[in-house]
Amino acid sequence: MDRKLRWIAAAALAGIVGFGVAADAGEGDAAAETPSQVCLTPAAWTVPDGERSHVTSATALLTEMAKRQVVLLGEGHDEDDHHRWQLQALAVLHAQRPDMVIGFEMFPRRVQPVLDSWVAGDLTVRQFLEQSEWRKVWDLPADLYLPLFQFARINRIPMVALNVDEKLNKAVAAKGWDAIPESEREGVGRPAPPSKAYRDYLFEIYREHGTVGGNDTTKAEATDRAFGYFVEAQTTWDRAMAEPLARYALAGSGGGKPLTVGIMGSSHIRFGHGVPHQLRVLGVKHIGTLLPLPFDADCSKDLRAGLADGVFALPQVATARPEPPRLGVRLEESEGGVRIVDVTAGSLADGTGLKAGDLLVEVAGIEVKTRTPVIAAIRQQPAGTWLPIRVKRGGETLDLVVKFPAKP
């Protein structure tokens, strides 16, 4: 999207590796180990500058951001507080630049007319979610994002669909950009080549994932064709989101240009790689990047110089959300239903006997037609319980039981 384009190359980069039922670990999650150098002040803004990072006032930072052409607000897709922070930032920016446009990674370009109707007040929430195919294209609870959508609607701020259909990035990942006919590129231009730092970052993610498209990525080399296609798929995604943002940011003349804000996964923003890089190539020179971080982030690792123009330290919550169960599969919707594309070695799915190519028929006795109920069933499964799954494998129908481990 990860995320979200729901296929593995993109998902790995959006922080949702293990799609479907590895569920949706958000970007920017705190590390499991105890941080060795905590330096952030909860509920405060920090300007990342390595050892010279310093706290700054919200007024000073956001006033400066309001002067930019484009401001990008990162997120971990399933983190409630990230979206509350985005709403807070949007409100402050809008107060200074009421001529605003908000672009959302969550929507493919083809649903733009639906976004227009929503902002015009012509749709109910239910109609908006149904017509934008929310459950198909994003697969996360709409409640996470509805305050942002409502903010745009009540202030009549244009909403812009930044994404493309899953099939385009999937095709690029499989065959490379040059193999995609121009008629199938959804109007996306050739992405600018990534910086060496971004390519190195993508290679680490690629290798750590284990398997992408049937390739054993743990033994991959940076010169492998498959990794090259992986990079082209990610930069295609970045380019697709940068193009509509640039179009609005460069529209008009003089003071008539709107403040263009992008809502997207933090991995598309960090260190000026991804979308900021593509924006600069498209002629947008004044870009602001803002990210949320947990208050106890390890600053020696997470707050390096150049990370963003500013980060907001989210305070600790009273009760920690338990880690959602992980099954260890990647799912893909097809004409026949929902198919398992990859199974992570050593995962619950692997131990249960699920295999790549299996077609899911039922989960917990419920017929499977889309990925959403599968993800919901896994995320809601109590520790120490069993979950029956029925699959078709070739000409056979198999009944399997996933045994979720008890709490430690």
pTM: 0.75
Q: How many alpha carbons fall within 13 Å on the CB side of residue 14? A: 32
pLDDT > 70: percent of the chain: 86
Nearest to 82 by CA among 6, 144, 163: 144
Q: Number of structural domains, the chain?
A: 2
Q: Is residue 321 part of a domain?
A: no
Q: Is residue 322 part of a domain?
A: no
Answer with the one of 314, 337, 362 that is the final residue of a domain: 314
Interatomic CA distance for residues 201 and 273, integer angstroms = 10
Q: Is residue 320 part of a domain?
A: no
Which CATH number characterizes residue 253's domain?
A: 3.40.50.11550
Q: Which whole-number Å values give the CA distances from 208 to 17, 220, 311, in the listed order?
A: 10, 10, 26
- pLDDT tens digits for 30-88? 333 443 466 899 999 999 987 778 899 999 999 999 999 999 999 999 999 999 999 99
Q: Would you say residue 3 has pLDDT above 50?
A: no
Q: Would you say residue 24 has pLDDT above 90?
A: no
| One domain, residues 251 and 367 | no
| One domain, residues 268 and 338 | no
- pLDDT tens digits for 292-330? 999 988 888 888 899 999 999 999 876 555 555 678 888
Answer with the one of 287, 314, 341 that is the final residue of a domain: 314
Q: Is residue 361 part of a domain?
A: yes
Residue numbers of the domain that contains 393: 329-403
| One domain, residues 295 and 335 | no
| One domain, residues 351 and 249 | no
Answer with the one of 266, 290, 314 that is the final residue of a domain: 314
Rg of the chain taking only CA atoms, in angstroms:
21
Q: Would you say residue 376 has pLDDT above 50?
A: yes
Q: Is residue 323 part of a domain?
A: no
Q: Is residue 359 part of a domain?
A: yes
